[in-house]
Structure 1
Amino acid sequence: MVKNNYAPFRAKILEKYQQTELDWTYRLECPIKPIFGQFMEVSLPGVGECPISISDFGDGYLEMTIRRVGKVTEGIDKLAPGDVLFLRGPYGNGFPLETFYGKHLIVAAGGTGLAPVKSVINHFYAHPELLKQCDILTGFKTPRDVLFKGDLEKWAQTFRVEVTVDKLDESGNLEVIANSCTRKTGLITSLIPDVRLSSLEDVRVIIVGPPVMMKFTAQEFLCRGLEKENIWVSFERKMSCGLGKCGHCKIDETYVCLEGPVFNFAKAQTLLD
C-alpha cells in the first residue's frame, strides 16, 4: 500500500500544562521520533489544520506548545487529557546538532520562539559534555509571557541563562521569572554585548523568534565578528501542506516547509518577503 503523506493519524493527549494565559504545552502519545526543529501539521476535524513546532519529544510521546490565537488553536484549547488530536508529519529540516558538538553554543530565543529550540537545549542539558559552553538568551514581552519557567530554572543549573522582558506588567517586578536566571528589562539584543566570546571560531548561534527579532539579533552577532555560516535561524510561516505543494510558505523559489524551517543564516539572509 502506498503511504498517503496527507493522511493524519490520531494522537491522544496524555497531559496538558499551562504556560501563560494563552499558551499550553500538550504531551501527545506518538511513536514518531522527529529531528530537532521539525514541525507537525495539527488538525481538528471540522475545524481546520495548522503547523505547530515540536517543543520536545521522547520515547512514545512528543510535546507541542500551542498559543490560543485562532480558530484551530481555540478548539485545541478546549481539549483535555484523554481527548484526541490529529497529526501529520514530522516535516522540514532541523538543527544540525553534530555541528554544535565541542563548540560554544548560544541560543537566542524570543517569545514563543523558545518552543522550537527547547528540545535542543534539553538534549545538551542531558549531555553537557558535548558542548564547550552554552549561553541561553531569552526575551519576552512581559513577565507574564515567560514560557517554560521550570525549564529555565533547570537549565540555569548547568548553563548561563538570561531572561529579559520588553517591559514590566502591572506587578512591577521580575520575581515571577526563574530565580536562578539573570533577569533584566530591555530587548534581547541588549544581552548580546555581555556574552563572553573566548574564540569566534568555536561559537555557534541559534536564533528563533519573530522576523524582526531574528534580523537584528543576527546583526548584533555579525557585528561581534561571527561568520554568517555559524548562525542558524528557524522561520515561522503558514506551512499549510508541509509537502511543498500549496506554496503558502514559499519565499522566492524556496519552500520553507521543505528546505526549512531551519536555515543557515548564509541562506536565510537572502530570503526576503
Structure 2
Amino acid sequence: MSGNIMLPTPHKIIDIIRETENEYTFRIETIAKVKHGQFFQVSLPKVGEAPISVSAMGDGWVELTIRKVGKVTNEIFNLKPGDKIFMRGPYGNPFPLDDFKGKDLVIIAGGTGVSPVRSLLKYFYEHPDEIHSLYFIAGFKDEKSILFKEDLSNFRKRFNTIYTLDKDKIEGFEVGFVTEHIQKIPFNNFENYNVVIVGPPVMMHFAALECLKKGVTEDKIWLSFERKMSCGVGKCGHCKINETYVCLEGPVFNYTKAKNLLD
C-alpha cells in the first residue's frame, strides 16, 4: 500500500458464486499480497463501505464471502461479473501460518466464521505435507446456512472433519452446537498443536472454555475478531475494546490476550 491508506481503488469482479440465499462469494481481481486471516474494506461510491474477510486467494485474485445484511452489502449484491467494486487493504494481523506448520491443527468455526478460516484450510488442503494433522469442526444453523459445500466435501477427504447443524438432521452432518463436539478431538494424542476458533463471540467464548477443559493451554488458542472490524486503520474507534484497537492489533489474537476482549 502506498499513498492515502484511506483511499479505495476500483477492482474488477471476475465471478460471483451463490453460497446461500444471503451469502455470495465474489472473486475479485487484485495484485495485493494477502495473508490468511486478513480483511479488505469493500465499498461503493456514495453508498458506504464494509469490512470483509478474505475467504480464499490466488494468483491475481481474492475471494470475499459477503453476507447481505445492510445498505452496502445489499447494493453489492446487485453487481455482476465485469463490474467494478472498490477496495482498500488488506488489513489486519493474520494467523501465524509458519507456527502452524509441522504441527497438529484444530480449526473450530461457526456459521460465517467459516469464511475467515477457509483460505487457511485450502492452503493446508493443497500442502498436506506441511501439517501433521488437521481436525476441522464446522457448525451451521441449518441446512440452508451451509457455506462452501464443495470445499467441505473436499476437506473430508484430507482432514478429520465434524460438520454439525444446530437442529436439522441430514446426511453427513451431526446435530448440536460445535461446542458439543470438541470432546471428540484427541488432544491427548497431540505432541505440538494449535487451535483456531472463529465465529460469533458467544460461540468463541464457550468453545475456548471447552478446549481449556480438555487441557489445552491458553497460548495454543487463536481467535479472530473479524466481526469487530470497522475503518481498518484505527481512526474511527468503533472496533476498540477497552484500550485495544482490534483493527490494528487483530483481528487475530492469541487467547492470552483475546480472553480479555470477549464480551
Q: Same fold (TM over 0.5)?
A: yes
**Does structure 1 residue 61 correspond to structure 2 residue 51?**
no
- 1:198 CA displacement: 3.9
**Does structure 1 residue 10 correspond to structure 2 residue 3?**
no
The answer for unaligned runs of 5 or more in structure 2 is none
- 1:267 CA displacement: 0.5
Cα distance in 2 for partners of 1:21, 1:138 equals 19
**Does structure 1 residue 243 correspond to structure 2 residue 229?**
no
Helix, strand or coil: the match of 1:206?
strand
Listed as ranges, the matches of 1:120-269 within 5 Å are 120-168=120-168, 173-175=169-171, 182-269=172-259
- 1:239 CA displacement: 2.8
Identity score, percent: 51
> Contact 2:7 / 2:88 at 8 angstroms: preserved in 1?
yes
> Contact 2:141 / 2:167 at 8 angstroms: preserved in 1?
yes
Cα distance in 1 for partners of 2:227, 2:107 equals 20
Listed as ranges, the matches of 1:20-99 within 5 Å are 20-99=20-99
> Contact 1:114 / 1:138 at 8 angstroms: preserved in 2?
yes
> Contact 2:201 / 2:262 at 8 angstroms: preserved in 1?
no
Residues 62-71 or 190-199, more deviating? 190-199
Cα distance in 2 for partners of 1:122, 1:49 equals 27
Cα distance in 2 for partners of 1:70, 1:250 equals 22
Cα distance in 1 for partners of 2:110, 2:139 equals 5
- 1:103 CA displacement: 1.1
Cα distance in 1 for partners of 2:254, 2:131 equals 20
Q: What is the RMSD computed on CA atoms of the aligned residues?
A: 1.2
- Aligned partner letter, 1:224: K
Cα distance in 2 for partners of 1:239, 1:192 equals 27
- Aligned partner letter, 2:241: I
- Residue matched to 1:179: none
Listed as ranges, the matches of 1:110-129 within 5 Å are 110-129=110-129
* Alignment deviations for residues 170-191 of structure 1 (CA, whole Å, 9 cap, x no partner): xxx514xxxxxx5211010111
Q: 1:199 to 1:234 in 2, by over 3 A?
A: same
Helix, strand or coil: the match of 1:54?
strand
Cα distance in 2 for partners of 1:160, 1:209 equals 20
- Aligned partner letter, 1:85: I
> Contact 1:51 / 1:239 at 8 angstroms: preserved in 2?
yes
Helix, strand or coil: the match of 2:174?
strand
Cα distance in 1 for partners of 2:95, 2:65 equals 18
> Contact 1:200 / 1:225 at 8 angstroms: preserved in 2?
no
- Residue matched to 1:271: 261
> Contact 2:205 / 2:262 at 8 angstroms: preserved in 1?
no
Cα distance in 1 for partners of 2:190, 2:255 equals 16
- Residue matched to 1:178: none
Cα distance in 2 for partners of 1:112, 1:160 equals 20
Cα distance in 2 for partners of 1:216, 1:238 equals 18
Cα distance in 2 for partners of 1:236, 1:117 equals 11
- Aligned partner letter, 2:179: T
Cα distance in 2 for partners of 1:233, 1:44 equals 30
The answer for unaligned runs of 5 or more in structure 1 is 176-181
Runs of 4+ displaced beyond 6 Å: none
